[in-house]
Structure 1
Amino acid sequence: MTPDDEFDFDVTVVGGGPAGLTSALYATRLGLDTLVVNRGGGRAAMMRDTHNVIGVTEETSGNEFLQTAQEQVQSYGGEYRRGFVEDIEALGGGDGDDDGDGGPDGFHVDTGDDELTTRRVVLATGFSDERPDPPLPRTGMGLHYCLHCDAYMFVDEPVYVMGTGDSAAHVAMIMLNFTDEVDVLLRDEEPTWSEDTAEMVENHPIDVVSEEIAEMSKDDDGWLESFEFEDGTVREYKGGFPMYGSDYNAELADALGLEREDSGEVAVDDHGRTSVEGVYAVGDLTPGHNQIPVAMGEGAKCGIAIHMDMRAFPRSTEEIGELGPVNDSEVPAISPELMATAVAHEGHAAGPRSEAETVDGEAAADD
């Protein structure tokens, strides 16, 4: 068992996408010493433009979005490191757990370059989309992985869906809500969708193209224009969606013995708690819609849950009986480093004020 004051961090977040960074933001602002370890890359980093995020304009790239989020976490006192977490091990178990229910006392985290201890772990490692074989357009310029993000881009434009399973057929039929030109590209494979799906496809105005792609044409800006197939036919497309499944980055989840859904995601409750006490999971690693606003919401709920699970006060009547009343030396329950950062931050009550706030304040005082 490691005493609380000997842990390197209260919370360690593995993964630096929207879910992980939001978890870290909330945990840090709620007074927990927080570390983010991010190997880089990820689905959000690949975005050329940001869609469906209120307050963030279209021309913001995924990397710009994430860079701003990283800077926000750091500005409040959270630590951000580029690196790869190789292993996480539970420390002890039982009497050191905050809730007294037999969970781990904390966790040992190995980043290859460093080893540290942490009281809580958040896994935000996401998944990787299965990419079809080339020839392919560039991601975001004719190759798209999120229907709910990008369907709007293809209203009244010709669209393809690659794949042989039920998901490919259903995405193709969904795209008929946005355009009347939708093809399913089997790429020289046989369809594997169900009989029910086959009947649905036959009764929707969708072309099923069996031949493999031979060549691809792009415009001067690099956007897809058309595919030429091995039978010599050429079909024009503005873009489309490959539907070949996902590979969950769940090695750490498996090492910790977390329960997973039949479809591969880590099983969590409504606040990101997993089957192992002290371990949380958020974002694309968990069930639900793979959307930035959804991931951010999950991160926020997780950060709040960790705060509620770990906060020192209020001290219960049982704890008062065991530890005695809260004395002046125990409050506030925030590390000196986070306290210093908070007091100096522009968002603190005693921090610097904008000119507009100062004018308003003076006007209020005059009144």
Structure 2
Amino acid sequence: MHELECIIVGGGPAGLMAAVYLARYKRRAVVIDEGASRAAMIPKSRNVLGFPDGIAGQDLLERMREHAAKFGAAVQTARVDGLARQGDVFEARAGATTFRAPFVILATGARDVEPEVTGLAESLQTGHVRYCPVCDGYETQGRRVAVIGRDLHGLRESAFVAGFDNEVTWLSLGTHGRCEEKELERLRAAKVTIVEQEPRHVHCDPKDGIEVEMKDGTRLRFDVLYPALGLEHRSGLAAALGAQVEADGQLVVTDHFETTVPGLFAAGDVASGLNQINVAAGQAAIAATEIHNRLP
């Protein structure tokens, strides 16, 4: 049993920022990380303050780990299998080890829902498939962009990327007919093309974008493809303790990022808010400071 003041579950930007703050507050905390941060998938982001020329997700995480280690933050590579509460103390079980602390910060993040097509991984590595137009829509200006998404979510993301003066095609998976006419009018105004057929394979050419092969044999060429099928928020540990969860799986939190379970905090993609590295870091800083102020 490891007696601590705070357990941080997840070693992405939110978890590591929380670790830096708590270490500098001279608090006994540990980061338990299974190595599944969504940030690690980013080929290059120019949306992180201080890196105008961009930084790869893996490199950013490595820098953040080094930053946390410099101030003595402890990071354990493990998966938290269960989280329980005994009185005023939380117990996090990771394999054969149990960690105990009066406070927990969940920084467990989320997972992108991938389209059911082959060839996606190769295109992701080259940057032709991207998941966050908020992060990098600026870099797509004046290009051929496709969005794979259902219903209103796919429609709105198509309209969003069209705002960067792109030639946009919405691969609606046959769902655009379920959208209201006023929403479809937005796409017409933005000159977005709608394609009903479902894709089955993505061919990647590092120099010439990607070719999307549809199930009917049609082949369409694009510079960038955005899957817009939503996120699976990793909120199960908190939900098992009775924490309130939004319809999309994000945890309901206060202004200081405490969940509806006292002492249990959440930061990053798993907490309600915009799914962004900068936002995650800010949420973690607020949560860590609130915990520090409550501790003796």
- TM > 0.5: yes
Q: What do residues 217-266 of structure 1 show as CA deviations (whole Å, max 9, x unaligned)?
A: 322x3773322334454322111211112111111011221111233211
From 109, 113, 130, the counterpart of 1:126: 109
Q: Is the 8 A contact 2:209 2:223 kept in 1?
A: yes
Mark the CA change 1:236 to 1:300 in structure 2 (over 3 Å): closer, same or farther: same
Shift of 1:83: 0.5
Higher normalized strand content (fraction of residues) = 2
In structure 1, the partner of 2:260 is 275
Matches within 5 A, 1:344-363: none
Shift of 1:125: 0.6
Shift of 1:195: 4.1
From 224, 227, 230, the counterpart of 1:245: 230
In structure 1, the partner of 2:146 is 160
Q: In structure 2, how many angstroms separate the alpha carbons of the residues matched to 1:293 and 1:52?
A: 8
Matches within 5 A, 1:1-367: 8-56=3-51, 58-92=53-87, 105-137=88-120, 138-139=123-124, 141-187=127-173, 191-219=177-205, 221=206, 224-310=209-295, 312=296
Q: Identity, % of aligned pairs?
A: 29
Name which one, 1 or 2, has greater alpha-carbon Rg: 1
Unaligned runs of 5+ in 1: 1-5, 93-104, 313-367
Unaligned runs of 5+ in 2: none
Instruction: Please give the TM-score of this superposition, normalised by the length of structure 1.
Output: 0.75
Shift of 1:291: 0.9
In structure 2, the partner of 1:342 is none
> How many pairs were matched up?
293
Q: What do residues 72-118 of structure 1 show as CA deviations (whole Å, max 9, x unaligned)?
A: 212212110110001111112xxxxxxxxxxxx21111101311211
Which letter maps to 1:169?
L
Deviates more, 1:295-304 or 1:48-57: 48-57
Q: In structure 2, how many angstroms separate the alpha carbons of the residues matched to 1:79 and 1:286?
A: 23
Q: Is the 8 A contact 1:135 1:213 kept in 2?
A: no
Which letter maps to 1:277?
P
Q: What do residues 49-72 of structure 1 show as CA deviations (whole Å, max 9, x unaligned)?
A: 122112135452211111121122
Shift of 1:189: 5.5
Instruction: Please give the TM-score of this superposition, normalised by the length of structure 2.
Output: 0.92
Q: Is the 8 A contact 2:7 2:99 kept in 1?
A: no
Q: What SS class does the counterpart of residue 139 from structure 1 fall into?
A: helix
Mark the CA change 1:31 to 1:223 in structure 2 (over 3 Å): closer, same or farther: farther
Mark the CA change 1:215 to 1:130 in structure 2 (over 3 Å): closer, same or farther: closer
Q: What do residues 119-173 of structure 1 show as CA deviations (whole Å, max 9, x unaligned)?
A: 2100011111110011343325221111111112211110001012101111111
Q: In structure 2, how many angstroms separate the alpha carbons of the residues matched to 1:49 and 1:55?
A: 13
Q: Is the 8 A contact 1:164 1:191 kept in 2?
A: no
Q: What SS class does the counterpart of residue 90 from structure 2 fall into?
A: strand
Mark the CA change 1:83 to 1:215 in structure 2 (over 3 Å): closer, same or farther: closer
Q: Is the 8 A contact 2:21 2:285 kept in 1?
A: yes
Q: Is the 8 A contact 1:250 1:285 kept in 2?
A: yes
Q: In structure 2, how many angstroms separate the alpha carbons of the residues matched to 1:251 and 1:84?
A: 13
Q: What SS class does the counterpart of residue 114 from structure 2 fall into?
A: coil
Q: In structure 2, how many angstroms separate the alpha carbons of the residues matched to 1:174 and 1:180?
A: 10
Q: Is the 8 A contact 1:158 1:179 kept in 2?
A: no
